[in-house]
Each structure stands twice: as structure tokens, then as C-alpha cells.
Structure 1
Amino acid sequence: MADATVSHQPVVPAPTATPPVSSPGSGPRTWVRKIHGGGQVTESCPSWCTAAHLNDQGGLLDDLVHLSPEVSARLVMPDWSAGVDGQQTVAMPVLAVRIQVDPYSEDPRRSVPFASVWPWEGEDMGALDPEELGGVIGQMEAHLDYMRRVRTQLEAAIARYGRD
């Protein structure tokens, strides 16, 4: 039996801001938010929101964003920034997706829950409704089918290599 390696994560200090009342998944979280320029509003998170909202105790009205957990595939890539030999690697997120709503947005597509899809780091596809997200899923399924065919062709090419 191989020895198990244990990785210890550093202890993260507790945040200093007061988070909204209750924890994600335990029901609605509400808090009073001070609005720059005057006034305040009582905010409530949708049941799927897991954002900490630590920086949302005050601000402009339209700064508030509710977010679900992000899910992405992670592809291991050479980290060329770590050296010229490319021996270091980094796991890069691709096809990151989450549910989001910007409740005070003037854009009607963003003021209701939408899918936020990031094909690769730094590139957002915008607010996608369920039909548009279905279109992206269909494109990715077709692409995965193509990649499976390429894999089969690659296996055949390796088996024939040097005999052609």
C-alpha cells in the first residue's frame, strides 16, 4: 500500500466584516445594507446564493450580485511563466458556470437569474437564459463527440505509425 501524502491548508483568519444573518443553504439570509448617497435597504439572498457578501454591507445600490457556487472543468496546462522548460503545471479553469443575478441592474437580462459561463479565464459569455445555455451545452456535447472520434483516430495512427 502506498503512503498517503497529507496536504495541510493554511488557516484563514475569520473575516472582520459582519456577514449576512444565517449561513448558505439554511434559508434566506437577510441584512441591512447602507446605500452610498443615503438610505438603506434590507437585502435577502435567494436560496441558491452562496456569496459571502462581506463587501456588501454598504455601497451603490446596483453593486449587489448574488452568486451560486462556480463549477468548472480544470485542465492541467504547462505553466510557461514558471520557467522556459514548461515542466511546471497549473490547473486552468475552463467552462466555468454559475447562476447569478444582479437584482438592481438596468439590464433586464441581468436583473433575473441567468447562467454566467466563462469558456476560459477572463472571458464571460454574458447573461444566458436556459435556452441559450442549452445551446452552449449542445455545442459542447457535439465537440466532445468529435474529440472522441479524434481519440479513436489517434489510437489507430499510433498503431500504424512507422508502418505507413
Structure 2
Amino acid sequence: MKKKFIKWGIIIMLSGLIIGVGIIFYVFNQPHRNIQAIASDYQMKASTLVEEYFTDAILANEKYLQDEGESKIIAVTGTVASITKDLNQQQVVLLKDKNEKAGVSCTFTSETNINTKNLKIGETVTIKGVIRSGAGYDEDLELYEDVILEKCDIVNN
């Protein structure tokens, strides 16, 4: 009786382990969402997106984030205020007018970095990506925070 119980216990544990490994393998090998191939859910000026977050961040998150936590795809149009690189050598384009408190920081991918080479400061451009975080005001640092888009690319007009 005891041997039969141990045998079934081992079979159940091995089955659970095999199922768990299969689930992990499936999740990590899912294809990534191709942001550039999918139509934008929203198109707007960069200043409009920033203002929505300053007005009501909770409502803006409900509007732009899906239930699973994935962001909807957004195309924003604005003036290029700066072009920099992040620590991962990804191009970061800030869309912001001189009189605005905050802007939209657009982080490109290694595949789309090349598309920023002809951008110039002061130029108006449309960039598509997904929201990582919204605009806000940090009272401790007394600084305005930009909306952050990631997986970005320039939209061809």
C-alpha cells in the first residue's frame, strides 16, 4: 500500500513538473507583438497626451492600458526637443514644445534606431509606440515627468 502511494505521488509530481516546464516554455517563446505592423489605437498631439495624464492619470491609464497591462498603440505628433541614447544604446526622442512642462519621451528599439538618423531638433514628427508610464509631477524632486513610450518608430506620412 505504501509503495503504491509513493509511486502515484512520484507520477503526479513528475506530471506537474512536465506541465510546468511546458507552460514556461510556451510563455517565453510566444512571438512579440509587432507594434509597427499594427494600426494605432489612438492618434493625437503629444501635448494632448501629456495633458490627459496631468488632468486625470487614473482615467488616462484606463483609456490607454489594456486589462492585461499591455498598452494600446499610440501615435503622437510633436516637435523634437532632443535626441539622446539610453543606457542600452537605444535612441530616445523627446517630443515637447518650449512652453510645455512635460513631453513625450519615445524610446526606439535596436531595429528602429536607424530611423532616427535624419531627425532634427525643432522638426515636427509622428512617432508610434506603447505607453510605459504617464506624465506626472514629482513633488519630492519638484520635477515634471514625461510620458514614456517604448518600442517606438517613426510613422511614415
Higher helix share: 2
TM-score per shorter chain, which class? Answer: under 0.3
Higher strand share: 2
